[in-house]
Amino acid sequence: MPLNIPTLLSLFRIAAAPFLLLSGWFGRADLFFILFGLMLLSDALDGFIARMLDQTSELGAKLDSYGDMATYLSTPIAAWWLWPDIIREELYYIIGVVTVYLLPAVFSFAKFGELASYHTWSAKISAVLMGGGIMLLFGFENSTLFHIAVYFVIVEAIENIAITFILPEPKTNIRSIRHAWKEQKYS
């Protein structure tokens, strides 16, 4: 496994997830926000740095996806311990977004036997919206951006599932459903 900066940034998110959980367990909201912020920053930087330094790889794309999954599955659990009242108020949205976030993975595993690593433009937009929405929800008890992000994740999930149906084999870095159609057409 090539240990380059993008790979290390993705591995950081995977390694930080248990500490995000511990921040919630021990009631450390300050540590939660620091770790979550660093996890979001590493997610934003890993792909950019990989392209800039010409260090993109299938492994890097998969590690990025695993880092995303670790971040977005540990976050609601840590938040439950820190802000149970907010979680109860937003429970339907949270259950919905976790379910919708997992659906494309289920379809990908069913078809390909592995997690898809498409990294679509819609996934990048939803990550920014969700990251900001989570910060506003738990930092300022403002749910508006979080709700918008949940609806955008639904759109992203539909696109990812459609891409999985279109592609005959797993591929990484498919920017949109249009790009998937082109990939399929030239396969």
pLDDT tens track for 59-94: 899 999 999 999 999 999 999 999 999 999 999 999
In a shared domain, residues 109 and 170 = yes
In a shared domain, residues 101 and 184 = yes
Per-residue confidence band for 187, with pLDDT thresholds at 50, 70 and 90: low
Q: At what angle do helices 177-185 and 144-166 cross, to 10 degrees?
A: 10
Please say whether the dihedral angle defined by the alpha carbons of residues 138, 116, 164 and 128, taken in this order, is positive or negative. Answer: positive
- The reported pTM is 0.91
In a shared domain, residues 128 and 147 = yes
In a shared domain, residues 77 and 159 = no
In a shared domain, residues 55 and 123 = no
Amino acid letter for position 4: N
- Domain range holding 57? 1-82
Furthest C-alpha separation in the chain:
53
* C-alpha span between 123 and 131 (Å, rounded): 12
Give Cβ neighbours of residue 78 (< 8 Å, ≥ 6 apart): 20, 21, 23, 24, 25, 32
In a shared domain, residues 75 and 148 = no
Amino acid letter for position 146: F
Q: What is the pLDDT of residues 126-173, one digit of tens each?
A: 999 999 999 999 999 999 999 999 999 999 999 999 999 999 999 998
